[in-house]
Amino acid sequence: MKRELLTKLIADRAAKRSVALVTNLADGAQTLVYTEGAVPGLPTPLVGTVRQSIQDNESQTVEIEGAGRWFIEVLNPPLRLIVVGAVHIAQPLAQMAAIAGYDVSIVDPRASFATDARFPGVTLVDEWPDDALKKLDPDRRTAVVTLTHDPKLDDPALAVALKSDAFFIGSLGSRRTHATRLQRLKDMGFKETETARIHGPVGLNIEAITPAEIAISILAQVIAVLHKKVEEQVPA
């Protein structure tokens, strides 16, 4: 690998940018491909395949008609899940998300809730949610889920998340609760096109009842949105 490419990759990792290193298997020439922008010198079908590989987080060898064989090495930043509210649902959700490959952070200024005993091995942040999310800086590989039902905690977190590149934003609560939440965010200056990013009530409709089942429905929806495999569903 040329030094110039290595320097760019190091900078991309520091900036949490998604990128793929594309190698021509015929001559060894290498190019970096990002999720946006022109890529001079590469066939258009290859660029589309590379960007789909980045979306799917899947390295692969492909053959492009008339352009030969290429190896696509996807170099995405880690998937992250930021959970606001160290409530009962957060416990199984954190465990399941970690198994699914997410770096999990639990944000809750209430020290009695966010404890190592309840969340072993999980990053705990005891700052106010808006301050915490600004520092955590959600990117395109980050999902944000609020679980507290408390506007004083959920709303500041959502306000920061809506201004970020987070690929998923979800909030727990009934349809009525979500409607009043949207009104509060509107009063804060957010447009309907912006608040439409919030999956609320969060979770796929699997008739979940227990905290663990609700956690499964939430994580399933996060994964579905990440891969864009199914249409959004919400509980009845």
Distance CA 155, CA 130 (A): 9
56 with 91, same domain: the answer is no
Q: Is 119 helix (H, G, I), strand (E, B) or coil?
A: coil
Q: At a CB cut-off of 8 Å and minimum separation 6, what does 155 contact? A: 181, 184, 185, 188
Of residues 120, 90, 123, 112, the one with CA closest to residue 202: 90
Q: Which long-range contacts (CB under 8 A, 24 or more apart) does 10-18 make?
A: 12/75, 13/75, 13/77, 16/77, 16/137, 16/139, 16/141, 17/77, 18/54, 18/74, 18/75, 18/76, 18/77, 18/140, 18/141
The boundaries of the domain holding residue 202 are 80-227
- Please report, for residues 67, 81, 129, 147, 184, the alpha-carbon distance to residue 118 in angstroms, rounded to integers and kept in the order given: 54, 17, 19, 16, 31
Report the pLDDT value the prediction gives residue 40, as an integer from 0 to 100: 86
30 with 122, same domain: the answer is no
71 with 107, same domain: the answer is no
- Which of 75, 91, 119 lies at the terminal end of a domain, its last residue? 75
Query: Can you give the pLDDT of all 236 residues of the chain as single tens digits?
Result: 888 989 999 998 888 888 999 999 999 999 999 988 888 889 899 999 999 999 888 999 999 888 899 999 999 888 999 999 999 999 999 999 999 999 999 999 998 899 999 999 999 999 999 999 999 999 889 999 999 999 999 999 999 999 999 999 999 999 999 999 999 999 999 999 999 999 999 999 999 999 999 999 999 999 999 988 544 444 43
196 with 178, same domain: the answer is yes
- Which of 75, 108, 128 lies at the terminal end of a domain, its last residue? 75
105 with 126, same domain: the answer is yes
Type of residue numbered 205: N
Question: Is beta strand 68-75 parallel, antiparallel or unpaired with respect to 19-24?
Answer: antiparallel
Which CATH number goes with the domain that contains 221? 3.40.50.720
- Joined together, the tokens standing for residue 131 give 């301050």
Q: Residue 122, Cβ neighbours under 10 Å: how many?
A: 20
69 with 86, same domain: the answer is no
Number of domains present in the structure of the chain: 2
Report the pLDDT value the prediction gives residue 171, as an integer from 0 to 100: 97
170 with 223, same domain: the answer is yes
Distance CA 147, CA 197 (A): 16
- Which of 55, 75, 95 lies at the terminal end of a domain, its last residue? 75
Report the pLDDT value the prediction gives residue 234, as an integer from 0 to 100: 40
Distance CA 217, CA 98 (A): 15
Residue 204 located in a structural domain: yes
Please compute, for residue 55, the number of CA atoms within 13 A of its CA located in the half-sphere on the CB side: 14
